[in-house]
């Protein structure tokens, strides 16, 4: 085994097969070969000077496996790159710096464009809001009966402001129409919030204008004109509750829309069967009891007390081993209930003789 290991080790280090076989057959190991010099290899083992010198160099330098791996990596990686000239390196760095600067400038321009877009949208939105408020005011004046003479002028202003609102609404790419916003502002918002007295138009804070005298209602009072009023929304809710017009009506006799599965019927008990038979035949409990008693008499069964009296009159005692079978046949009682019926009849049991009697035997 040592010869083979030495032979393979020399082959891995690049030694030819003949020299490796010669050294392995001589019984040398790798460590022993390293300790020898060139003259000993030539004189003792018959190697030539050049071969002996190459063997010692190979053993001292170590295995050549890594050199082969480096050679394969160089072959697979392709030709070596030429070192870059300093002028080309400076030119490359300058181009890279210019590209980074252009990217940064592009980011800054994009950021400014987004800011300008938001600013322009904000300006358009503020302008649209002011136009909507003006249209709301014009429509309120148009519906006012005291300003019938100015309706033609108000109509022209509404047309002009409507075109401006439509332009801003289209620029913002909003859904719906400007008239939807106006209707919401005029009809729905006044029912949701209170900002002015309906009589004098004085601005008021709902939190400080609550009418505390109304305990069952949510009302307000204007401290300028002392006008008391309730919220339109509360009036709408109270009207709905009192009218019961839109309430949901539930018909208790109406069947469900989907089919309802009934639970499975439980198995009828013996009592239910007997009750059903009694109701079907029309018999009562007394009739059934009389029929049962009659059947006992006709079948020849005795009552337990009669059997006990009869047996005691004949024998003077009752013993389970002698009288159990006769007890079962005569009375129809169970075999396991023999002692129970004896105790129930008031008989005394003698443990020595195993007999039941009317008196206790000493």
> Looking at the structure, do residues 199 and 286 belong to the same domain, yes or no?
no
Identify whether 257 is part of a domain: no
> Looking at the structure, do residues 187 and 100 belong to the same domain, yes or no?
yes
pLDDT tens figures, 192-215: 665 577 788 777 766 667 777 776
> Looking at the structure, do residues 305 and 294 belong to the same domain, yes or no?
no
Identify whether 341 is part of a domain: yes
What is the chain's length?
A: 362
Identify whether 264 is part of a domain: no
The H or E element that residue 177 is part of is none
What is the model's pLDDT at position 356? 87
End position of a domain, from candidates 174, 191, 208? 191
What whole-number distance in Å separates Cα of residue 216 and Cα of residue 197? 21
> Looking at the structure, do residues 149 and 199 belong to the same domain, yes or no?
no
What whole-number distance in Å separates Cα of residue 308 and Cα of residue 347? 10
pTM of the full structure: 0.30
What is the model's pLDDT at position 217? 67
> Looking at the structure, do residues 149 and 215 belong to the same domain, yes or no?
no
What is the model's pLDDT at position 72? 40
> Is residue 318 helix, strand or coil?
strand
* Residues of the domain holding 283: 269-300
Identify whether 322 is part of a domain: yes
Identify whether 64 is part of a domain: yes
- The CATH number of residue 22's host domain is 1.10.150
> Looking at the structure, do residues 218 and 170 belong to the same domain, yes or no?
no
What is the model's pLDDT at position 299? 47
Q: What is the arithmetic mean of pLDDT over 272-299? A: 60
The DSSP annotation for 7-63 comes to: HHHHHHTT--HHHHHHHHHTT--HHHHHH--HHHHHHHH---HHHHHHHHHHHHH--
End position of a domain, from candidates 27, 52, 77? 77
> Looking at the structure, do residues 218 and 202 belong to the same domain, yes or no?
yes
Whether the CB-CB separation of 268 and 255 falls below 8 Å is answered with: no
> Looking at the structure, do residues 63 and 102 belong to the same domain, yes or no?
no
> Looking at the structure, do residues 285 and 340 belong to the same domain, yes or no?
no
> Looking at the structure, do residues 287 and 212 belong to the same domain, yes or no?
no
> Looking at the structure, do residues 283 and 307 belong to the same domain, yes or no?
no
Domain total of the chain: 5
Identify whether 95 is part of a domain: yes
> Looking at the structure, do residues 139 and 181 belong to the same domain, yes or no?
yes
What is the model's pLDDT at position 216? 67
What is the model's pLDDT at position 192? 60
How confident is the prediction for the chain on average, in pLDDT?
A: 76
The DSSP annotation for 254-280 comes to: SPPSSPPPPPPPPPP-HHHHHHHHHHH
What whole-number distance in Å separates Cα of residue 6 and Cα of residue 27? 9
What is the model's pLDDT at position 151? 83
Identify whether 238 is part of a domain: yes
Identify whether 331 is part of a domain: yes
């Amino acid at each position: 085994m040592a010869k083979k290991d030495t032979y393979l080790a020399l082959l891995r280090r690049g030694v030819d097969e003949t020299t490796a076989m010669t050294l392995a057959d001589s019984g040398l190991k790798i460590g022993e070969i390293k300790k020898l010099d060139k003259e000993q290899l030539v004189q003792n083992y018959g190697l030539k000077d050049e071969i002996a010198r190459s063997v010692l160099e190979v053993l001292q330098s170590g295995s050549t496996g890594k050199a082969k791996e480096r050679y394969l990596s160089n072959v697979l990686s392709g030709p070596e790159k030429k070192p870059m000239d300093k002028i080309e390196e400076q030119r490359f760095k300058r181009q890279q710096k210019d590209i980074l600067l252009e990217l940064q400038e592009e980011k800054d321009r994009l950021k400014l464009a987004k800011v300008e877009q938001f600013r322009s949208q904000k300006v358009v939105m503020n302008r649209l809001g002011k136009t909507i408020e003006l249209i709301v005011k014009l429509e309120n004046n148009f519906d006012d009966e005291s300003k019938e003479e100015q309706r033609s002028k108000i109509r022209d202003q509404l047309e002009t402001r409507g075109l401006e609102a439509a332009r801003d609404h289209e620029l913002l790419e909003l859904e719906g129409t400007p008239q939807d916003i106006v209707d919401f502002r005029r009809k729905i918002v006044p029912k949701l919030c209170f900002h002015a007295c309906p009589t004098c138009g004085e601005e008021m804070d709902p939190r400080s204008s609550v009418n505390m005298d109304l305990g069952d209602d949510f009302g307000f009072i204007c401290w300028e004109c002392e006008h008391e009023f309730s919220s339109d929304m509360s009036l709408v809710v109270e009207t709905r509750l009192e009218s019961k017009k839109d309430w949901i009506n539930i018909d208790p006799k109406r069947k469900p829309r989907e089919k309802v599965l009934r639970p499975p019927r439980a198995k009828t008990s013996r009592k239910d069967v007997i009750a059903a038979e009694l109701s079907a035949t029309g018999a009562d409990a007394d009739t059934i009891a009389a029929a049962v008693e009659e059947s006992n008499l006709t079948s020849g069964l005795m009552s337990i007390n009669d059997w006990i009296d009869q047996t005691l009159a004949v024998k003077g005692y009752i013993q389970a081993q002698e009288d159990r079978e006769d007890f079962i046949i005569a009375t129809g009682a169970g075999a396991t209930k023999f002692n129970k019926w004896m105790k129930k009849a008031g008989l005394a049991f003698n443990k020595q003789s195993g007999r039941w009697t009317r008196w206790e035997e000493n």
